[in-house]
Amino acid sequence: MAARTCSFVSLLLLATSLAVISLSPATNADSYTYPPLQKGLDFSYYKSTCPQLESIVKNYLKKAFKSDIGLAAGLLRLHFHDCFVQGCDASVLLDGSASGPGEKQAPPNLTLRPAAFKAINEIRALIDKACGRVVSCADVVALTARDSVSLSGGPNYKVPLGRRDGLNFASRDDTLANLPPPSSNVTKLLSALNGLGLDTNDLVALSGGHTIGLAHCTSFDDRLFPQDPTMNKWFASHLKLTCPVKNTTNTTVNDIRTPNTFDNKYYVDLLNRQGLFTSDQDMYTDSRTKPIVIDFAKNQDLFFQKFVYSMVKMGQLSVLTGTNGEIRANCSAKNPSRFGILQPVIQIIGDTQLF
Ligand code: HEM
Ligand SMILES: *[C@@H]1O[C@H](CO)[C@@H](O)[C@H](O)[C@H]1NC(C)=O
Ligand SMILES: *[C@@H]1O[C@H](CO)[C@@H](O)[C@H](O)[C@H]1NC(C)=O
Ligand SMILES: *[C@@H]1O[C@H](CO)[C@@H](O)[C@H](O)[C@H]1NC(C)=O
Ligand SMILES: *[C@@H]1O[C@H](CO)[C@@H](O)[C@H](O)[C@H]1NC(C)=O
Ligand SMILES: CC(=O)N[C@H]1CO[C@H](CO)[C@@H](O)[C@@H]1O
């Protein structure tokens, strides 16, 4: 009897530990540590107004990534640009904005992918059909960034929602001031990030976004001609196959080891002096960031934890909430002004000859 109880208990223990293993913490969004949420943002903001929101976004992207995995990188970078310039208010989407697809006014935005803008508009159309116009474009951008990470093999984290869309274009100067160029060293990167309330850990973790996607030769060919001595010699000659001279329009992958997988190999690249930009490689040179780079290269779970924390922090930069801003009807354009709305109303009244 005692023996049977004992084996029953150990079976129970075995079953419990198996259950724990199958609920692997890496895939459980609740197991991550999140920064404090800004007032007005909530993980379940659309629970009653648009319960299908997150599945609409994920299903669209699952399908879209099958034909273009590069879209994941495009969407992740879009969220970063949106948040760094004037806050996560979807100003990056406005046609005619300094970093939007219209004027293409500032160097960093020239290379945002048109497919990413198109996907946001298509997803918003699906959401509007299901729920009406209740979800902001800024929230859609944040959700697509999360799914781009998780569907590429990265952490599946929770996104605080409730952002409102901005009413102002970002100026060219704003864009240039807040998005540091790839030629930046850590000192310059930190001063840009510190200005936004982000720290050294955030810099190293968020730069891990370069584990997917592409770069144009012009973003790093200053390190090939003349050759940067901090770059691995084999890697430099490998890059010169794609970028044989300065200023070609060719592109290459950001992470040479696993270009389309969201993992910690980007940091392994840095350890091997195979980072693409000065802004990447200098994090392994600078003593303030080097230990963090090494930790992430050794421990992917740690990288995922820190990435989640910093992404959620970044995703709350200068957000508009409550009654500030608006919910755009068209993510690429501000809603017509009140005056503009009044005109058709007057027209209708005129047509029905109320007077
Ligand atoms: C810390 C400062 C950063 C600098 C200087 C920087 C710079 C760049 C540059 C120059 C490119 C290549 C553009 C091109 O030539 O086409 C790029 C691509 C990319 N960046 Fe960053 N970046 C930074 C931070 C981030 C952050 C925080 C994220 C996201 C968390 C991110 C995600 C990406 C992605 C996914 C791509 C590939 C885009 C694509 O394939 O379309 N970057 N970045
Ligand atoms: C970092 O870059 C700035 C210019 O952007 C330069 O003034 C500074 O000397 C550089 N710092 C180091 C440590 O290389
Ligand atoms: C890159 O561009 C150059 C000139 O623009 C071209 O000659 C070369 O074939 C291209 N290389 C690759 C690998 O695409
Ligand atoms: C490459 O383009 C930059 C910017 O347009 C220009 O300043 C530079 O002179 C060009 N370099 C070469 C070698 O063509
Ligand atoms: C959305 O706005 C952009 C920019 O004004 C415009 O080009 C586009 O046609 C609009 N889309 C729709 C569906 O109205
Ligand atoms: C590299 C660069 O500056 N490209 C364009 C990006 O936007 C600015 C503003 O229009 C243009 O002057 C540049 O030609």
Distance, in Å, from the CA atom of 34 to the CA atom of 281, rounded to the nearest integer, reads 28
Atom of ligand 6 at shortest distance to CA of 110?
Answer: 6
Q: Which pLDDT belongs to residue 199?
A: 98
| 284-to-179, 303, 305, 322 alpha-carbon distances in Å | 21, 15, 20, 42
What is residue 175's predicted lDDT score, i.e. its pLDDT? Answer: 79
- In this structure, the residue with its CA closest to atom 1 of ligand 4 is 247
Q: Is the pLDDT of residue 40 over 60?
A: yes
pLDDT digits (tens, 9 = 90+) for 162-186: 999 999 888 777 777 789 999 999 9
Direct distance between the N- and C-terminal alpha carbons of the chain, in angstroms, rounded to an integer: 94
In the predicted model, is pLDDT for residue 6 greater than 50?
no
Tell me, what's the pLDDT at 27?
A: 61
Token couple for 153: 């093999």
85 is in an annotated binding site: yes
From CA 312, how far away is CA 306, in angstroms rounded?
A: 10
Query: How distant, in Å, are the alpha carbons of 74, 92, 172, 260, 267 from that of 85?
Result: 17, 8, 10, 26, 26
Residue, of 272 and 6, whose pLDDT is higher: 272
Give residue-wise pLDDT tens across range 214-241.
999 999 999 999 999 999 999 999 999 9
Cβ of 276 below 6 Å from ligand 1: no
Read off the pLDDT of residues 293-329 as tens digits, 9 standing for 90 and up.
999 999 999 999 999 999 999 999 999 999 999 999 9
Give yes or no for residue 202 having a pLDDT over 70. Answer: yes
| Catalytic-role residue among 79, 81, 216, 238 | 81
- DSSP lists the bridge partners of residue 340 as none
Q: Which ligand has the nearest atom to the CA of 175?
A: 6
Ligand nearest to the CA of 193: 1
pLDDT of residue 3 exceeding 60: no
Atom of ligand 3 nearest to the CA of 241: 13
To the question of whether residue 103 is assigned a binding role by annotation, the answer is yes
Instruction: Name the pTM for this structure.
Output: 0.88
Q: What is residue 173's predicted lDDT score, i.e. its pLDDT?
A: 75
Q: What is the pLDDT of residue 105?
A: 46
Q: How far apart (Å, rounded) are the C-alpha atoms in residues 306 and 302?
A: 6
Q: What is the pLDDT of residues 131-162, one digit of tens each?
A: 999 999 999 999 999 999 999 999 999 999 99
- Ligand 6: which residues within 6 Å by Cβ? 104-107, 110, 172
pLDDT (tens digit, 9 = 90+) per residue, 331-354?
999 999 865 454 444 333 333 333
d(CA 278, CA 180): 11
Report how far ligand 2's centroid is from the alpha carbon of 73 (Å). 29
Distance 175 CA to ligand 6 centre (A): 11
Question: Closest by alpha carbon to 75, among 143, 27, 137?
Answer: 143
% the chain with pLDDT above 70: 83
Q: Provide DSSP, 104-149.
A: --SGGGGGS-HHHHHHHHHHHHHHHHHH-S-S-HHHHHHHHHHHHH
Show the ligand 5 pocket: residues with CB < 6 angstroms.
Answer: 95, 330, 332-333
In angstroms, the Cα distances linking 271 to 104, 149, 291, 294, 295 are 35, 23, 11, 7, 11
318 a known binding residue?
no
Binned at pLDDT 50, 70 and 90, residue 97 comes out as low
The pLDDT tens digits for 18-39 are: 444 444 445 689 999 999 999 9
| Mean model confidence pLDDT for the chain | 88
**Quick one: which atom of ligand 2 is closest to the CA of 186?**
1
Say whether pLDDT at 107 is over 70. no
**Given ligand 4 and candidates 216, 246, 248, which is best to mutate, with the most ligand atoms within 8 Å of its CB?**
246
Reported as a single tens digit per residue, the pLDDT across 44-91 is 999 999 999 999 999 999 999 999 999 999 999 999 999 999 999 999
Whether 79 sits among the annotated catalytic residues: the reply is: no
Report which of 202, 156, 135 is spatially closest to residue 61, judged by C-alpha positions: 156
Which residue CA neighbors atom 14 of ligand 5 most closely?
330
Beta-sheet strands, E only, within the chain? 214-216, 251-253
Q: Is the pLDDT of residue 106 over 70?
A: no
pLDDT attached to residue 174: 78
CA of 28 to the centre of ligand 5 (A): 38
Residue owning the nearest CA to atom 5 of ligand 3: 248
Report the separation in Å between the CA atom of 253 and the middle of ligand 5, taken as the mean of its atom positions: 32
Ligand 6 centroid distance, CA of 113 (Å): 16
Q: What is the pLDDT of residue 110?
A: 62
